[in-house]
Amino acid sequence: MLTRKQIDLLDFIHKRVQRDGVPPSFDEMKEALDLRSKSGIHRLITALEERGFIRRLAHRARALEIVKLPEVLTAAEQRDQPQAGGFSPEVIDGDAAPRPGAALDVTASAPARSLPVMGRIAAGVPIEAISNAEHSIAVPDAMLGAQGEHYALEVRGDSMIDAGINDGDVVVIRETATADNGDIVVALIDDHEATLKRFFRRGGAIALEAANPAYETRLLPEDQVRIQGRLVGLIRTY
């Protein structure tokens, strides 16, 4: 039987993996559970691993995998599932970031909208800002949601690979000038460099965090960063 804290941590990890495709950091877990130190998180993770609910994966950043969920969480998840005629959680929709291995059939006969592909976005070292549409791509309406303007960008680089975003993928972006901590955003730096990174506010600064341990987090003054949009979907060609 799991303790309340163990259930809360498992639920938090599961929801973040569903949303972002990568488990939260230990600092994020500590903050979510209102613990004073990361040692408490280590103890909870060890207990969950011993009980077979999670598995640690070797040689990967934030290497935690959900193996199973307790009945209290699976029952809650089933209540939140869309009804018949809705969309499967595997679909990368207008409110969810992509998950590794998630697939969207863009050849299906579902309603689609044509979006401009504005160029290439760096998932690595920032490149020059992108402003001109190069071509367009058909994107299922289910990915876009009902509100806001959208555009697409082709990814160059591997700094977001642990979030399931690979070199050559096309990301779908909802235009917005604001973001919440943990969102994957298109950030414009000093009005001439654009990059795809996870967004965090830290005091009076903005942290742009990669999803690849090979890349360092960039910490920039708030007035040097403008949000150009938030990631809402991903299209991959095999």
Q: Given the residues 5, 37, 131, 159, select the one marked as catalytic.
A: 159
- Four-CA torsion 34, 38, 43, 45, nearest 10 degrees: 80
Q: How far is residue 1 from each of residues 34, 48, 71, 144, 236, measured CA to CA in Å?
A: 22, 10, 11, 40, 41
- Residue 181 CB neighbours (<10 A): 12
107 DSSP assignment: T
Is residue 109 part of the annotated active site? The answer reads no
Is residue 197 flagged as an active site residue? Answer: yes
Structure tokens at 170: 């096309």
Of the candidates 209, 199, 202, the one whose C-alpha atom is nearest the C-alpha of residue 226 is 199
Residues 202 and 65: their CA atoms lie apart, in Å, by 28
User: What's 217's DSSP letter?
Assistant: P
Catalytic residue among 88, 131, 136, 197: 197
CA distances from 148 to 22, 78, 159, 230 (A): 26, 29, 27, 11
Residues catalogued as catalytic: 159, 197
